[in-house]
Amino acid sequence: MTALKYAGMDDTDSEDELPPGWEERSTKDGWVYYANHEEMKTQWEHPKTGKKKRCAGALPYGWEQETDDKGQIFYSDHINKRTTYFDPRQAFTIEDMQVKPKRYDGNTTALEVLHDCDLSDKVVVITGANSGIGFETARSFALHGAHVILACRNQSRAMKAVSLITEEWRKARVEAMTLDLASLRSVREFAEIFKARKLPLHILVCNAAVCTQPWNLTEDGLETTFQICHLGHFYLVELLQDVLRHSAPARVVVVSSESHRFTDLVDSCGKVELKLLSPPQKEYWSMLAYNRAKLCNILFSNELHRRMSPHGVTCNALHPGNMMYTSIHRSWWLMTLLFTFARPFTKSMQQGAATTVYCAVAPELEGIGGMYFNNCFRCLPSPQAQDPTAAASLWELSERLIQERSTPTQVL
C-alpha cells in the first residue's frame, strides 16, 4: 500500500493480497507479473488466485513512462513532480481473458507463427540473413512491418536478399549491413555503426553459422567454426548490450542444433577447454567442431539470460529442425550428397524459421528465457548444456579471448 499511497492511489479496493515475499510488477506493455524475492523467480499467475491480469487503459493524466540508466522502467508524475518505480496502472488491473497460446509443430511456418502480428514498432537484427533460415526469418519479420537489418559478410548476396523482400512488399523496411563474424574488428565496426544510428534493438537473432569447414584460422588466430558460430556472436551481444537494455523488453534468440548432444567441452574440473574449441589442425574434425560450437550456443544463451534478464532482456536457444536442406554444408561433398537424397523429407526454410520467430515474438515467452526449443516446444538440451558451471566457464573464457584480441569493452 505504500507504493499505492505514493502514487496517490491508496484508496483502491484491491481484492488480491499477495503472500509475504511476493511483489506485483508490470511489463512495459502493461502486463502484470509477480516476483518471489525468496525463491528469486517470476510468474504471470497470481500466487494465490492463479489469475493473470493486465493494466486497464493508459497511464493517468500527467504520468509518463521512462527508463533509467540501468534499463529499469520508472514513472514520472509531472503534475506533482515525483517519480516511482510502481506502475500507477496497477491500481486498476483487470483479469486477463487472453486466448490460450496457439499450438505449433514441425510443420508450422514462420509466417503462420506471425499471423496477425504487427511488428511495425520493432527493430530486428539477424546475422547470416542473406540465405536459408536466416533469410526466411528476415523475410517473415519484414512482411509483418518490422525494421529488419540483415547483418551479413557478403554484401552482394545481402543486397540481393533485400531486393527479394522489397520486391515482395515494396513498403518493407529492410536493409543490409556488413558483419563478418570471423573478424572481431568487423564485429566492432558493425556495432559502432549501428549504435551511431541511435536505433533501438528489440530482437537480435544470432543465426549465422558454418559447418563442415576445412581447418582454418581467422585473422584473430582462432578456429573458424568456433569464432563464427560462438565467439563472434558473444562479442556482438557484448557490444550491443546497452542498446538491448534501453530497448527492453528485448529478446536475443540463439540458433543452435540438436548436434550439441554429441560432444562435451569440459575437463575433469568442469572447466571449458580452449584446445577443444580451437584445436590445432592435427586434432581437428569439422563435424565435431560444429557440435561443440552448437553446445557453446546453448551455454551462452543460458548465461546471457541469467545476466541480462534483470534488465528486461531475455534469451532462448533453439534447434531449427532435423535434416534441413541449407547451404551450411556446402564445404563437404558427402554431406551435400546426403542432403540431396534426403531433400524430399526435410523441412522447408519457412518451417525451419518457425521456431526462431516463435522465440522472438511469442507473447507467452515475454520475460521468460534460459530455455531450449525445438518445433516451437520447450525441450531439455543435453545435461552438459544445462550445467551452470560450464556456462560460467565458457563465459569467462570468451571474455578472456575477446580482451586479448580487442580494445576493452564493458563487461556484461
Residues with a catalytic annotation lie at 290
Residues in CB range of 209: below 8 A, 6 or more apart: 128, 228, 229, 255, 290, 293, 294, 328
Residue 92 corresponds to which cell in the numbers above?
Answer: 486498476
Per-residue HEC secondary structure of the chain comes to CHHHHHCCCCCCCCCCCCCCCEEEEECCCCEEEEEECCCCEEECCCCCCCCCEEECCCCCCCEEEEECCCCCEEEEECCCCEEECCCHHHHHEEECCCCCCCCCCCCCCHHHHCCCCCCCCCEEEEECCCCHHHHHHHHHHHCCCCEEEEEECCHHHHHHHHHHHHHHCCCCEEEEEECCCCCHHHHHHHHHHHHHCCCCCCEEEECCCCCCCCCCECCCCCEHHHHHHHHHHHHHHHHHHHHHHHCCCEEEEEECCHHHHHCCCECCCCCECHHHHCCCHHHCCHHHHHHHHHHHHHHHHHHHHHHHHHHCEEEEEEECCCCCCCHHHCCCHHHHHHHHHHHHHCCCHHHHCHHHHHHHHCHHHCCCCCCEEECCEEECCCCHHHCHHHHHHHHHHHHHHHHHHCCCCCCC
User: How far is residue 411's CA from residue 241's CA, in Å, rounded to a whole number?
Assistant: 9
Provide the sign of the torsion angle of the four alpha carbons 382, 388, 391, 393, taken in this order: negative
